[in-house]
Amino acid sequence: MSTSLYDLSVPTFLQTMQALGGVLARAGDHFAGQGVDPDSVVTARLIEDMAPLHFQIEAAWHHAVWGVETLRTGAFTPPPLEGAVPFARLQAMIAAGEAALSAVRRDEIDAHAGRHLDLTIGTRRLAFTAETFILSFSLPNFHFHAVTAYDILRSRGAPIGKRDYEGRLRTRDA
């Protein structure tokens, strides 16, 4: 059995988006239970020259949802970043991303397998196929930002672990 473009993208993004939603929920509950306003971690960073939590969540959302949308349209055109928003808004972004990914149909993504995508991102011009765009650009960027968000929350004391980040594994029936 071969792996389709849909299989490479949508379920993979969705697994981590759902996990990230769970990570945000656990972190928010933890902070609230500790008397810490969850909004106070929105601008938290791992180190001064890295982007804050809100950027990590937005970038993960953009690479998942607009990564898949790029397969359809041929253009990577995420909306502008919102910036520092309330913690609940970060949770809403992830929920909206989950809903958008859940609505994607296999046939509409698989129809674009092999498509040439010539993208301009900033000052960079990048020539991809649909598969190399997902595998070498969107997925690595998505996972970088998702794990950085996890790391920021973990560094602030959120009781989250590797299994929270993994989310629901897509195992076969035994």
- Per-residue pLDDT tens over the stretch 78-88: 888 888 999 99
CATH number at residue 73: 1.20.120.450
Q: Is residue 168 included in any domain, yes or no?
A: no
Provide the residue range defining the domain that includes 106: 5-159
- Per-residue pLDDT tens over the stretch 124-150: 888 999 999 999 999 999 999 999 999
The total domain count for the chain is 1
Residue 55's closest CA among 150, 163, 157, 149?
Answer: 149
Query: CB neighbours of 14 closer than 8 A, spacing ≥ 6?
Result: 64, 98, 101, 102
Q: Is residue 169 included in any domain, yes or no?
A: no
Q: Which segments within the chain are labelled E, that is strand?
A: 116-121, 124-129
Residue 127's closest CA among 117, 135, 136?
Answer: 117
Widest Cα–Cα separation across the chain? 52
Q: Is residue 69 included in any domain, yes or no?
A: yes
pTM of the model: 0.92
How many C-beta atoms surround the C-beta of residue 146 within 10 A? Answer: 25
